[in-house]
A = this chain, B = another copy of it.
Amino acid sequence: MKKYNFFAGPAILPKSVIMKTAESITDFEGMGLSIMEISHRSKQFVGVMDKAISLAKELLNAPDNYEVLFLTGGASSQFYMTAMNLLGQNQKAAYINTGSWSTKAIKEAQHFGQVDEIASSKDQNFNYIPKDYNIDPEAKYLHYTSNNTIFGTQFQNAPETDIPLVADMSSDIFSRPIDVKRHVLIYAGAQKNMGPAGTTFVMVDKNALGKVNRHIPTMLDYHTHIAKGSMFNTPPVLPIYVSMLTMQWVKDHGGVTAMEKKNTEKSELLYSEIDRNGLFVGNVSAEDRSKMNVCFSLHNTELEKEFLAISKEAGCEGLPGHRSVGGFRASIYNAMDIEGVQVLVEVMKEFERTHG
């Protein structure tokens, strides 16, 4: 039976990327060796890394002063690395709190300077994106989480401000065009829209670095990885390879503009059904709904297990909501075709017929 992968992360990858990876696991580019057992300094892997970097810049239309890094440690490591590299001990940074991830980013940054939480949606269990706030013009940057995977909210546009932005785009990178030049740094764990777990994407304005005075361990200094093209130490070869294939797939399918169109269609189809179907209710303010993670509930929560069982019978995997929220979460990243959403919508309609 065909499976429809709604996991929030690690998450769905394009079928062609999976098949190509399986091939390269047994024999990479006719070398007679697995991609897992070749030197990262072989010309074959250097080619993979170069291509991954150039694809990322091309897809996001990045200006020349931006560098692309493929690191490890997840977005969780960027929570402190961004502040460690960009924020002086006597300087101030502004943060918008839209849930677990921003909360953690704030906690980690506080040790490296003054952190202003200028807005938060905690009062409504993070079911909206705060829009009213004042930013101290002295702030070095404004940090925001572009999409909240857990609660299903998304900034429809980057925050309006003249302050340079730092963005955690873990769950919506490459899902739509972005204005890179308004950002001093963008980071993303790979395992939602970019590739498998095991590498972390960083795009940074190189002119913004080197302005803090603290000691930074070599591996935590962005300069190190810029100077060595993400090869200061052995990089996570396979996660970077699969990310490169996925970015190539995005390019081959029309780039981030085409992805945005497809993601809009899929999310509109699903939100329409949530709004139409009397059994279900969306969790999030309509104007802040995520096109990546569609979070919804049953009015009658006693029916949850039955709905999950029926959707699983139809091939839908990974639908339970995050353990801190409950209900349902359909993650519909780039690689999810509209067919998967249609199957889920059919299950919802059928559930209405039998339980309405």
Q: Mark A298-337, 1 if CB is under 8 A from B, else 0.
A: 0000000000000000010110000000000000000000
Q: Are A13 and B34 in contact (CB under 8 A)?
A: yes
| CB of A318 to closest CB in B, whole Å | 6
In the assembly, how many copies of this chain are there? 2
Complex Cα–Cα for A311 and B80 (A):
48
The reply on A107 being an interface residue by CB < 8 A is yes
Residue from B5, B32, B84, B220 in contact with A3 in the complex, judged by beta carbons closer than 8 Å: B32
The reply on A1 being an interface residue by CB < 8 A is yes
Complex Cα–Cα for A108 and B84 (A):
16
Complex Cα–Cα for A31 and B242 (A):
20
A217-237 with Cβ < 8 A to chain B: 217-220, 232-237
- Nearest B residue to A21 via CB reads B25
A22 neighbours in B (Cβ, 8 Å) = 22, 25-26
Q: Are A1 and B32 in contact (CB under 8 A)?
A: yes
A1-31 with Cβ < 8 A to chain B: 1-3, 5, 7-13, 18-19, 21-22, 25-26, 31
The reply on A272 being an interface residue by CB < 8 A is no
Q: Are B217 and A111 in contact (CB under 8 A)?
A: yes
Contact flag A197-B7 (CB < 8 Å), given A36-B21, A317-B33: no
Q: Mark A83-118, 1 if CB is under 8 A from B, else 0.
A: 010000000000000000000100110010000000
A10 neighbours in B (Cβ, 8 Å) = 36-40, 234, 237
Q: Are B36 and A13 in contact (CB under 8 A)?
A: yes
Contact flag A217-B80 (CB < 8 Å), given A26-B22, A196-B238: yes
The reply on A177 being an interface residue by CB < 8 A is no
Q: Are A234 and B25 in contact (CB under 8 A)?
A: no
| CB of A328 to closest CB in B, whole Å | 15
A196 neighbours in B (Cβ, 8 Å) = 36-37, 237-238
The reply on A355 being an interface residue by CB < 8 A is no
Complex Cα–Cα for A2 and B31 (A):
10
The reply on A72 being an interface residue by CB < 8 A is yes
A39 neighbours in B (Cβ, 8 Å) = 7-10, 318
A9 neighbours in B (Cβ, 8 Å) = 39, 234
Q: Are B234 and A189 in contact (CB under 8 A)?
A: yes
Q: Are B18 and A36 in contact (CB under 8 A)?
A: yes
A72 neighbours in B (Cβ, 8 Å) = 72-74, 198, 236
Complex Cα–Cα for A310 and B1 (A):
51
Q: Are B108 and A217 in contact (CB under 8 A)?
A: yes
A18 neighbours in B (Cβ, 8 Å) = 25-26, 34, 36-37
A198 neighbours in B (Cβ, 8 Å) = 72, 198-199, 236-239
Closest 9 CB pairs of A and B: A198-B236, A72-B72, A36-B196, A76-B233, A3-B32, A80-B217, A22-B25, A74-B233, A197-B237
